[in-house]
Homo-oligomer: A and B are copies of this chain.
């Protein structure tokens, strides 16, 4: 049976690149916001949803995590890491220089990521903000030859644009993490050719906001030599000063270490929820 995959759209976004790297041939549907995409998995409209988790251009990690924590609790069945490479693209047939570009279109985060390049090469051009990098490419495809968009290779392909200058982003090692959400675990995912190490993500709520509480929590992992690759405090929606923590542990869930950690934390008065234990897929986009 063909699976239905939903993602944060429109087409030509980095989320779509993540989806295409992982899924082949399935039916793919684009959603306008992160909550819409998560709701569609919850209501069985789609089988799998792909949304940005961290450092995304079009989304925000906080929105995804908060929506998953407070509204719709779905397991993370995989993570996809996509390198962020921004290109300057123009209409086919453009054979002039940077000086002839009068208008640059892109999402404000992409514009910000290419700040140094724009400052040195396109200071004379007017910058226009769009709602996504895909939208910018679409607008340039319908514009005249003085317009350029900043976006990824997929956007260039989708809208028939030519890449005038590759890799104009300021930082070479920028990545975005995407979460793959589904009600059913997919045992086949671990056999995908991009599949790498396994991770486990936990949500931990502290009993109260006192000095050293987090230190105690981390002790439970440290003395078991369990490595954490990410820790982030997020405010509870119950008011300022109440926090929960999202912790990524660099190993799959097991029947010894994790139950031990959880029992210790619960004895301290913490609440622990497992958000998922899953493989990490790392994409390598050709530069």
Q: Is the CB of B32 within 8 A of A115?
A: no
Judge whether A198 is part of the interface by a CB distance below 8 angstroms.
no
Q: How does the 8 Å CB contact mask read for A34-61 relative to B, with 1 for contact and 0 for none?
A: 1110010000000000000011001011
Oligomeric state, in copies: 2
Q: Is the CB of B63 within 8 A of A109?
A: yes
A215's contact among B70, B115, B221, by CB below 8 Å, is which? B221
Cα distance A70–B233 in the bound complex, in angstroms: 22
List residues of A whose CB falls within 8 A of some B CB: 32-36, 39, 54-55, 58, 60-63, 66-67, 70-71, 81, 108-109, 111-113, 115, 127, 129-132, 170-175, 209-212, 214-216, 218-219, 221-223, 225-233, 235, 237-241, 243, 282
* List of B residues within 8 angstroms of A232 by Cβ: 231-233
* List of B residues within 8 angstroms of A112 by Cβ: 33-35, 63, 67
* Dominant SS among interface residues on chain A: mixed
Cα distance A55–B58 in the bound complex, in angstroms: 14
- Among residues of B, the one whose C-beta sits closest to the C-beta of A66 is B171
* List of B residues within 8 angstroms of A33 by Cβ: 108, 111-112, 115
- Among residues of B, the one whose C-beta sits closest to the C-beta of A223 is B212
Cα distance A227–B209 in the bound complex, in angstroms: 8
- Among residues of B, the one whose C-beta sits closest to the C-beta of A57 is B60
Q: Is the CB of B218 within 8 A of A215?
A: yes
A131's contact among B35, B131, B170, by CB below 8 Å, is which? B131
Cα distance A90–B36 in the bound complex, in angstroms: 24
